[in-house]
């Protein structure tokens, strides 16, 4: 029997988009519609969804009318439509243009004003300050202050440097030698040279310069959650990254995560999200300082995280929570994950080689042995030879990336 109750429309075609399609297929046996500008390797040769390519779909001048046409077409075939953006720019487009789609889709998004606060780091840290959330000591450098800023910092090296919004069009499209999503600097000379290159690129945004919270990748924390249309948190899942990616374009993305539980942290973040009126998916990055015994807020991304499939590894399903709320109007108390499991986006041998914490490495090996382990792209229900070969090559590329770009964060 063909489903006509609802249709998920997923924006994007990366690992994140594939993971969300897989979640819908697993629970509801339906194929979401994937809308994107081009099809990437993670979603190639898949039978889990239908795909619609739209030229320049990720551009502000094209997106509203293009998505509106899609919504009107499919609203004639389905009772309800829900939209799941799988990247920061699609999330931003949905928030900015939501008023054009109201009445056609069931789920809601944060306001453009809150989006701007979360995307603009100085505004975000001011919000953290107001609500009693810890964040790293920060210096905000204007474009003409980038080089001089290094002598004004109230903290020393190492430092972490990032544009005020690394997903803004201006930064995404500027080019300079040494460009990264996030920079780690250990000395003044390297910092100044990179800033000179950035200045010559024409990038005019602010820079966020922060103290480096001591610790390696395993001291990071990530929390994925879903808040309903009344800004009540429905599901929260905490993860301890075991390893991050190191390619300059994906630096800071998670490569392996062990799901955890921490009721005190859950309650603190839940109160924060509800106090600020947050709606929809949130992907929260933090770092734990073992000396000060504090979690420091880094950022909130208004979408399911690229690594959000770790929630499924823990036995929960973010998309089912969305459907329960937006499609069926079910109400229940917030679910806090307590299950321990492993998710990875790299081959196991990469995890074993580059995870630095020996106790964590032992735990990971034990979780694999117990079969408490998942990878987003490994879906036996979606097996075919062409896809298998592409995904094998895709994962093999991670060997080369780590060999070329890996460095120890001290």
pLDDT of residue 1: 45
**379, part of any domain:** yes
**43, part of any domain:** yes
Within this chain, do residues 222 and 358 fall inside the same structural domain, yes or no? yes
Mean pLDDT of 330-339: 95
Mean pLDDT of 174-199: 91
Percent pLDDT > 70 in the chain is 98
Give me the CATH number covering residue 279: 3.30.470.20
Report the alpha-carbon distance of residue 373 to residue 355 in Å, rounded.
16
Give me the CATH number covering residue 29: 3.40.50.20
In this structure, is the dihedral angle defined by the CA atoms of residues 53, 30, 310 and 305, taken in order, positive or negative? positive
**131, part of any domain:** no
**267, part of any domain:** yes
Give me the CATH number covering residue 142: 3.30.1490.20
Within this chain, do residues 195 and 295 fall inside the same structural domain, yes or no? no
119-123, 169-173, 197-201: the lowest-pLDDT one: 169-173
pLDDT of residue 129: 94
Instruction: Tell me: pLDDT of 348 over 70.
Output: yes
Report the alpha-carbon distance of residue 275 to residue 41 in Å, rounded.
39
Within this chain, do residues 371 and 399 fall inside the same structural domain, yes or no? yes
pLDDT of residue 410: 64
In sequence order, the β-bridge partners of residue 254 are: 244
pLDDT of residue 166: 66
Q: For residues 342, 343, 349 and 351, what is the CA-based torsion angle, rounded to 10 degrees? A: -80
pLDDT of residue 167: 61
Domain count, the chain: 3
Q: Alpha carbon 170 to chain centroid distance?
A: 20
DSSP string, 72-140: HHHHTT-SEEEEEE-SHHHHHHHHHHHHHHBTTBS-----HHHHHHHHSHHHHHHHHHHTT-----EEE
Cα angle value 173/177/181 (rounded, 5°): 55
Question: Confidence class of residue 203 from pLDDT cuts 50, 70 and 90?
Answer: confident
DSSP string, 276-335: TT--EEEEEEEEEETTTTEEEEEEEESS--TTTTHHHHTT--HHHHHHHHHTT----PPE
pLDDT of residue 206: 87
SS3 state of residue 100: helix
Q: Would the pTM of this model clear 0.85, i.e. be above it?
A: yes
Q: Which of 211, 246, 275 is a domain's end point?
A: 211
Mean pLDDT of 113-130: 90
- Report yes or no: 305 and 16 within 8 Å, Cβ to Cβ: yes
pLDDT of residue 44: 94
Report the alpha-carbon distance of residue 361 to residue 120 in Å, rounded.
36
Mean pLDDT of 159-171: 78
Instruction: Spell out the residues 6+ positions from residue 170 whose beta carbon is closer than 8 angstroms to its own.
Output: 203, 204, 205
Within this chain, do residues 197 and 234 fall inside the same structural domain, yes or no? no
Which token pair is 198? 């950035």
Which token pair is 35? 């809308």
Mean pLDDT of 97-114: 95
- More reliable by pLDDT, 67 or 87: 67
Within this chain, do residues 266 and 377 fall inside the same structural domain, yes or no? yes
Report the alpha-carbon distance of residue 160 to residue 215 in Å, rounded.
13
Crossing angle (nearest 10°) for helices 112-119 and 121-130 = 100
Question: Confidence class of residue 121 from pLDDT cuts 50, 70 and 90?
Answer: confident
Question: Confidence class of residue 388 from pLDDT cuts 50, 70 and 90?
Answer: very high
Within this chain, do residues 16 and 45 fall inside the same structural domain, yes or no? yes
Residues 28-46 have pLDDT tens digits of: 999 999 999 999 999 999 9
Within this chain, do residues 292 and 382 fall inside the same structural domain, yes or no? yes
**121, part of any domain:** no
**125, part of any domain:** no
Mean pLDDT of 58-71: 96
Within this chain, do residues 163 and 221 fall inside the same structural domain, yes or no? no
DSSP 3-state helix, strand, coil percentages of the chain (rounded to 5)? 40, 20, 40
pLDDT of residue 120: 82
Within this chain, do residues 343 and 223 fall inside the same structural domain, yes or no? yes
Within this chain, do residues 203 and 299 fall inside the same structural domain, yes or no? no
Within this chain, do residues 239 and 306 fall inside the same structural domain, yes or no? yes
Q: Which of 110, 145, 161 is a domain's end point?
A: 110
**118, part of any domain:** no
Within this chain, do residues 184 and 333 fall inside the same structural domain, yes or no? no
Q: Alpha carbon 297 to chain centroid distance?
A: 14
Structural domain range at position 86: 6-110
**194, part of any domain:** yes
């Amino acid at each position: 029997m063909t489903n006509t109750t609802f249709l998920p429309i997923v924006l994007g075609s990366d690992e994140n988009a594939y993971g969300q399609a897989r979640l819908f297929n697993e629970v509801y046996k339906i194929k979401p519609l994937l809308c994107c500008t081009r099809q990437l390797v993670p979603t190639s040769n898949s039978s889990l969804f239908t795909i619609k390519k739209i030229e320049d779909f990720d551009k502000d001048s094209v997106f509203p009318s293009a998505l509106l046409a899609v919504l009107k077409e499919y609203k004639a075939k389905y009772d309800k439509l829900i939209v799941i953006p799988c990247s920061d720019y699609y999330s931003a487009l949905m928030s900015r243009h939501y008023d054009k789609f109201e009445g056609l889709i069931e789920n809601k998004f944060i306001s453009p004003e809150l989006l701007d606060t979360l995307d603009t780091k100085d505004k975000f840290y001011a919000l953290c300050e107001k609500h009693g959330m810890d964040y790293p000591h920060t210096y905000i450098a204007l474009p003409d202050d980038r080089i001089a800023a290094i002598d004004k910092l109230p903290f020393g090296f190492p430092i972490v440097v990032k544009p005020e919004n690394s997903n803004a069009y201006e930064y995404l499209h500027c080019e300079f030698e040494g460009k990264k999503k996030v920079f780690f600097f250990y000395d003044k000379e390297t910092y100044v040279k990179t800033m000179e290159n950035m200045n010559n690129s024409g990038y005019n945004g602010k820079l966020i310069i922060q103290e480096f919270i001591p610790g390696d990748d395993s001291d990071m924390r990530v929390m994925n959650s879903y808040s309903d249309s009344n800004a009540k948190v429905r599901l929260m899942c905490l993860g301890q990254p075991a390893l991050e990616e190191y390619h300059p374009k994906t630096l800071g993305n998670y490569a392996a995560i062990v799901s955890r539980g921490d009721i005190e942290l859950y309650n603190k973040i839940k109160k924060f999200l509800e106090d600020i009126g947050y709606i929809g998916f949130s992907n929260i990055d933090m770092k734990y300082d073992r000396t000060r015994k504090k979690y420091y807020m880094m950022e909130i991304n208004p979408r399911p995280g690229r690594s959000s499939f770790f929630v499924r590894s823990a036995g929960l399903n973010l998309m089912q929570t969305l459907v329960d709320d937006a499609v069926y109007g079910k109400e229940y108390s917030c679910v806090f994950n307590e299950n321990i499991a492993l998710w990875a986006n790299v081959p196991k041998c990469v995890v074993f080689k580059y995870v630095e914490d020996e106790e964590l490495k032992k735990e990971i090996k034990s979780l694999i042995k117990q079969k408490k382990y998942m990878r987003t792209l490994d879906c036996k229900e979606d097996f075919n030879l062409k896809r298998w070969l592409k995904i094998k090559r895709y994962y093999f590329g991670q060997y080369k990336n780590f060999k070329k770009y890996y460095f120890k964060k001290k």
